[in-house]
Amino acid sequence: MKQMKTLIVTLAALLITISISAQQTIKQTETKQVPVELINESDTLQYALGAFIGQWMVKNGFEMEDIYSVVSGLWYCRFV
């Protein structure tokens, strides 16, 4: 019976330790914000869409390995 209590206490302490360490936040690096000059409504909309897509990519852990492909795809959409 005494061994069972020791086992339960040990497992409880381990579970608490694991849950606390899993909830620690990751320290993010500071990014320097540069002011953007938006001249018209089209610029504002394009900036908002780009910011939304960028936030989605960061949130979902998406990384671009070949930026050339992304730019080529965007450029292609202009002529379709």
Instruction: Name the nearest CA neighbour of 70 among 57, 60, 59.
Output: 57
- The pTM for the full model equals 0.45
Instruction: Return the DSSP state at 32.
Output: -
Stretches where the chain sits below pLDDT 70 are: 1-2, 14, 20-28, 78-80
Instruction: Return the DSSP state at 60.
Output: T
Q: Are 47 and 38 in contact (CB under 8 A)?
A: yes
